Amino acid sequence: MTEVKIVADCAASAESAFQYVNDYRNLPHFLHGIESFTPVGDQIEGLGASFDGHIKLGPASLRSRVEVNRWEKDFAIGIRSIKGFEIDSTFLFHPKGDDLCTIDAIVDYRVPGGLAGRALGKTIEPFVKITVKHTTDNLIRQIAEFHRGGDRNSR
């Protein structure tokens, strides 16, 4: 597996950051390269909620079905793929005050074995780095705007 870890301070409470990331409708706004992210069934949050996702990383088009495997209100959201491209991702929200928190985002992904898998890994690696940078910038900015109330009325 390849691990990508982001640790960033955000001008928002841990509660606001959790609330923003927990709303699956926000994912396409902050996750760079995401083509779609849709619920599978009626459950849209909490343990067991499932989603179908499609992301473009350069020339690679990757699909996965993920399930929420960790959900601790205002602290942690974790997902793991149950079908398709293998991914395991966790967001942790650490309070530092009413208007400040630290967000840890840990993403592990695995490409298939063999020649095709190694080729895919080499193809997507530079795009993963770009995606992480853009996603971090987007996420921190959008959570801060949400916390200040700029996005609450649009839902």
The pTM assigned to this predicted structure is 0.85
Spatial separation of the C-alpha atoms in residues 37 and 154, rounded to whole Å: 19
What's the pLDDT band for 1 if we cut at 50, 70, 90?
low
Question: In this model, does residue 82 exceed pLDDT 80?
Answer: yes
User: What is the model's pLDDT at position 123?
Assistant: 76
CB atoms within 10 A of CB 101: 25
Question: pLDDT tens digits, residue range 87-105?
Answer: 899 999 999 999 999 999 8
Spatial separation of the C-alpha atoms in residues 24 and 43, rounded to whole Å: 11
Burial of 3 (0-12, 13-18, 19+ CB in 10 A): exposed
Could you give the domains of the chain?
2-148 (3.30.530.20)
What's the pLDDT band for 150 if we cut at 50, 70, 90?
low
User: What is the model's pLDDT at position 16?
Assistant: 96
Residues 5, 74, 17, 67: is their CA dihedral positive or negative?
positive
Mean pLDDT for the chain overall? 88
Question: In this model, does residue 118 exceed pLDDT 80?
Answer: no
CA-nearest of 97, 107, 89 to 147 is: 97
User: What is the model's pLDDT at position 124?
Assistant: 78
Reduce the DSSP state of residue 46 to 3 states and report it: coil
User: What is the model's pLDDT at position 154?
Assistant: 42
User: What is the model's pLDDT at position 69?
Assistant: 98
